[in-house]
Amino acid sequence: MPIAARRSLVAGLSASLLVAATGCGAGATTTTAGSSADLKPAPAAQRLDKVCPATVVVQADWEPEAEHGPIYNLVGPGYTVDTDKKRVTGPLVIGGKDTGVKIQVRAGGSAVGYQTPASEMYIDQSITLGMVTTDSAIQTVGKRPVTAVAALMKKSPQVLMWDPKTHPDWKTVADIGKSGAKVVYRDGEVFAPMLVAKGLIKESQLDGSYDSSPSRFVADPSIAQQGFATAEPYIYEHEVAAWKKPVKFQLLSDVGYTVYPEALSVRTGALKKLSPCLKKLVPVIQQSAADFAAAPDTAVTLIDDIRAASRSRPG
């Protein structure tokens, strides 16, 4: 999800890092102190080594973040991090047990020049799964068709947000539409024309100049702006030094933007070949999502470590 400075991560992270730097420059890596040799094998139903690629490669849609927790939760001890490319590779585990293959999770966003996961999947066909939101899949179906095989979330966290001090009367997107205020969004986002078609905002209000920076919102709090419920409200209140106060928002899923965000997808042409793998891998991912919801700390700490290692890498 291409937005500015996604939250550092949820509160309560362990202060100690699991990774220690071992290199710098191109291909710099970090590695954990743990060892995959200590892992016990997963039950037969969760063993993937006979049906899946030796390394299951997952292309994320943005920088490492807690929304990707169910996938990072699959990364076991003894993992390595490529700090240049923001990739982590390690044993693919479920419930702390080895499935017999590795997993590599690749960051999106700046790590891939802001290319979409679907684009990356067709550039590099070693990618097994990509995180592709429904509307993006529709947009690329002509040249880069993908098929969703698992959804990590039921609702999109996409929102329109505003300053409650400037607009104390705004409660919904419809209120924004009645005001005539500019709605700043990233050009190409499907939700914007959808809101116009539903009569919730006017076409004259649309401003497709959003560049992921908070500077426009800070300088002109009269606008409404796109964001994510899982990111901007926290970021703006706690991390944007020039703002440091609450924002209000409405989920676009509440007004008809019904998509599966970050749906795990395969290249449509590879679906048949990957089906034996997916029959076992998808239930493993679903279990990982349940495990992450119940106990997120390990995966969230890994995500934080990847981001910290990438930020602090020597030149």
Task: List pLDDT tens digits, range 244-288.
Answer: 999 999 999 999 999 999 999 999 999 999 999 999 999 999 999
Band of residue 18 on the pLDDT scale cut at 50, 70, 90: very low
Question: Which residues lie across from 111 on neighbouring strands?
Answer: none
Tell me the pLDDT of the chain averaged across its residues.
88
pLDDT(29) > 90: no
So what's the pLDDT on residue 5? 35
**Paired tokens of 167:** 């607009």
How many whole angstroms separate alpha carbon 277 and alpha carbon 296? Answer: 26
So what's the pLDDT on residue 134? 93
Integer angstrom CA distances of residue 153 from 11, 92, 289:
21, 21, 9
Q: Do domains 19-154+260-312 and 158-255 have the same CATH topology?
A: yes
pLDDT(175) > 50: yes
pLDDT(24) > 90: no
Band of residue 110 on the pLDDT scale cut at 50, 70, 90: confident
Band of residue 38 on the pLDDT scale cut at 50, 70, 90: confident
So what's the pLDDT on residue 158? 94
Integer angstrom CA distances of residue 150 from 64, 167, 260, 268:
19, 39, 9, 14
> Higher confidence at residue 132 or residue 109?
132
Residue range 70-82: average pLDDT?
A: 96
Domain boundaries, the chain: 19-154+260-312, 158-255
pTM of the model: 0.82
> Higher confidence at residue 303 or residue 55?
55
CB atoms within 10 A of CB 124: 12
Between 29-43, 182-196, 227-241, 255-269, the lowest mean confidence (pLDDT) is in 29-43
Band of residue 313 on the pLDDT scale cut at 50, 70, 90: low
So what's the pLDDT on residue 35? 67
Name the CATH code of domain 19-154+260-312 (choices 3.40.190.10, 3.40.630.30, 3.30.420.40, 3.90.1150.10).
Answer: 3.40.190.10
Q: What phi and psi, each to the nearest 5 degrees, are found at residue 263? A: -65, 130
So what's the pLDDT on residue 45? 97
So what's the pLDDT on residue 309? 79
Q: What phi and psi, each to the nearest 5 degrees, are found at residue 235? A: -60, -50
Percent of the chain at pLDDT above 90?
A: 76
Integer angstrom CA distances of residue 129 from 121, 192, 197, 206:
8, 28, 33, 34
As its CATH architecture, domain 158-255 has: 3-Layer(aba) Sandwich (3.40)
So what's the pLDDT on residue 273? 98
